Chain A
Amino acid sequence: MNFLTNLISGLSLGSVYAIIALGYTMVYGISKMLNFAHGDIIMIGGYMSFIMSMYVGMNGWLALLVAIVICTILGITIERLAYRPLRGTGSLAVLITAIGVSYFLQNIALLIWGANPKMFTSLFKGMSPIHAAGGKLTITPESIFTILANIVIMLCLTLFVSKTKAGKAMRAVSEDNGAAQLMGINVNQSISLTFAIGSGLAAVAGVLMCSAYPVLIPTTGAMPGIKAFTAAVFGGIGSIPGAMIGGLILGIIEIFSRAYISTELADAIVFGCLILVLLVRPTGLLGKKVHEKV
């Protein structure tokens, strides 16, 4: 039963990583940049939801909606102000700018909300955990909803990207920016839309993560951000199912190494697995192999 409990908490943590990784992977796919500020948008999402439910007195679900809207606007603004002026100037310049944005968000949060941890109230506070197998196995509502949310988001995104016009435009831009523009696709709009979706998902991930691990500080998003980035690379960056598989595997590895090997070494094991995967498949599990043209 211990094994099953660990598996479920692994899946739940992995689902959070997967939702964050989806944002990473879509942004990378379309603009070929590592958006290091993504983790901090999670943190902003968490704080927004916290503020809305604690001080404004909103219902948890309504607060989540507000957090999604705010993070979406934030994502579009960041792209417009910080990343768009640097489009096409090489990945290093944009990477450093993204790090600058990440510092900016963390320090804004530090100024507004202070360094003291805020205790986040779970979105699923009223619900009682499910007991199975004679009380040996406990499944928290947080786990169930996180895993469900992950599946729903993943299905919706896949449908969106493959069926709708905007989704097809996004795919075209990520395939070939210039050709897409010649075909009459509004590249700026597509990229803004990607950032909007990614940031909205980050808000969802933030609220789900803070429901399960309720301590909220300005650096809350940093480590999950890095792990989710790892998950995106693990699954093959740029691929939507890859992000989900990568996230789930990473979450399970992390929980299992915490439970059975060593708490301190869990992160080292997670990163070690990433390196092993990249050695065998240099573009991740589901990544496309890119042939180089001379």
Chain B
Amino acid sequence: MAERILKSVSVRALKGAKRGGQYRKEAMIAYGILIAGYILLQLGAATGIIGRNLQGQFVPICVYMALAISLNLVVGISGELSLGHAGFMAAGAFTGVVVTRVLEKSLSFAPARLIIALIAAALVAALAGFIIGIPILGLRGDYLAIVTLAFGEIIRNFMNVIYFGLNEKGHLVFSFNHAIDGIEDANRVITGPIGATGTTQIATFTGAMLLTAFTLFVVLNIKNSKQGRAIMAIRDNRIAGESIGLDVKKYKLMAFVVSAALAGMAGCMFGQNYSTLAPVKFNFNTSVLILVFVVLGGIGNIWGSMIAAALLTILPEALRQFSDYRMLTYAVVLIVVMICTYNPAIKARIGAVWSKINPFRKRSKDNSGSSGKKGKEAA
């Protein structure tokens, strides 16, 4: 008896250690990708290997990486399907634009303006996430998905009727559903369906990369915290989680709000990268695009979604010469990858082939599998 208990405890301790190791491995890979990517892209830009077109994609790549990481918190870690991520991105982008325009005269140091804008964007997006999160957390699965879709569309729709401008004194003027009269074009900040105009572009590659690193830091730490484990326990079995006293609503709301805030910050950086930005940019397709990054990278796999985001942002640029067939190829690749990764029969076949040709295969895999089984029996 004592032996069995001891055995189960040791197995559990081992598993705990393994999980810690996994976390470190995941974090190292993710940060490694980020740093290596930064150095490579900077070198490429400095030596002229990477052309102007692709250099223009540097900030969007970082932004989409950050968005993929933040959506992974909801879809991968919390296990809820969200189809409205672009809505939070929009909220953040337009908040950021308004804040930087107001501060433009009084605060000439651009990075400081950017940081204030990022904080404001995070707050507004978090508030939106909170308001949206409270009612929808009672819903399950596909119903939740449709409500996030609806909210994403509502946010974008509201952006179409919001007007901001600066009057002669430099004060902010706001108007709903009709344009503001008596303001010069240069002083318009947000003009309904036309969107943000006259934004000074203060987003830089380094800044965007730091933002991605920050997003990564937040999400990885949540994943490896007590709260993160609670969120994942609820994802795996809601009823079991509830029965051991986890507050399901609280944890789900937490994941949702943090994800919204991070998406808002990414959106803010995105908004600062363009002098004009229309609300149409944040439609359903953008939400889906971010979801595709997450699913292609492997749901819950954070560095996978980062790579997927980077590749799928570069891919359309790289495929420019096939312009007509570009999106068609993209669609076919998406379907084939989904079938290959999720169909059990095809997956097993690919796995068998891969284990034959994989140069890094582990020989001790069978041993760990059998000890895991024993551990279960002992417990």
Contacts and interface: CB of A to CB of B under 8 A. Distances in A.
A289 to B, nearest CB: 12
A222 B153 CA distance: 13
A101 interface: yes
A230 interface: yes
Contacts of A237: 142
B135 A279 contact: yes
Interface in A218-244: 222, 226, 229-230, 233, 237
B330 A267 contact: no
A262 B176 CA distance: 11
A103 B81 contact: no
Interface of B: 75, 81, 135-136, 138-143, 145-147, 149-151, 153-154, 157-158, 160-161, 177, 192-193, 239, 284, 288, 291-292, 295, 299, 324-325, 327-328, 330-332, 334-335, 338-339, 341-344, 346
Contact of A86 (B146, B324, B342): B342
25 contacts: A86-B343, A92-B75, A93-B295, A93-B338, A96-B292, A97-B334, A100-B334, A104-B332, A104-B335, A107-B327, A230-B146, A233-B142, A264-B157, A264-B193, A268-B157, A271-B150, A271-B153, A271-B157, A275-B135, A275-B147, A275-B151, A278-B146, A282-B140, A283-B143, A294-B239
Interface in A198-232: 222, 226, 229-230
A91 B331 CA distance: 19
B161 A93 contact: no
Interface in A262-288: 262, 264-265, 267-268, 271-272, 274-275, 278-279, 282-283
Given A108-B328, A233-B143, 14 more contacts: A28-B142, A34-B142, A86-B342, A93-B341, A96-B295, A97-B338, A99-B334, A230-B150, A262-B177, A264-B192, A271-B151, A271-B154, A282-B140, A292-B239
Contact of B334 (A96, A264, A265): A96
Contact of B139 (A85, A89, A282): A282
Contacts of B161: 262, 264-265
Q: Is the interface of A mostly helix, strand, loop or mixed?
A: helix
B192 to A, nearest CB: 8
B200 to A, nearest CB: 28
Nearest to B177: A262
Interface of A: 28, 34, 82, 85-86, 89-93, 95-97, 99-101, 103-104, 106-108, 110-111, 222, 226, 229-230, 233, 237, 262, 264-265, 267-268, 271-272, 274-275, 278-279, 282-283, 292, 294
Contacts, number: 126
Contacts of B239: 292, 294
Contacts of A106: 327
A85 B291 CA distance: 21
A142 to B, nearest CB: 27
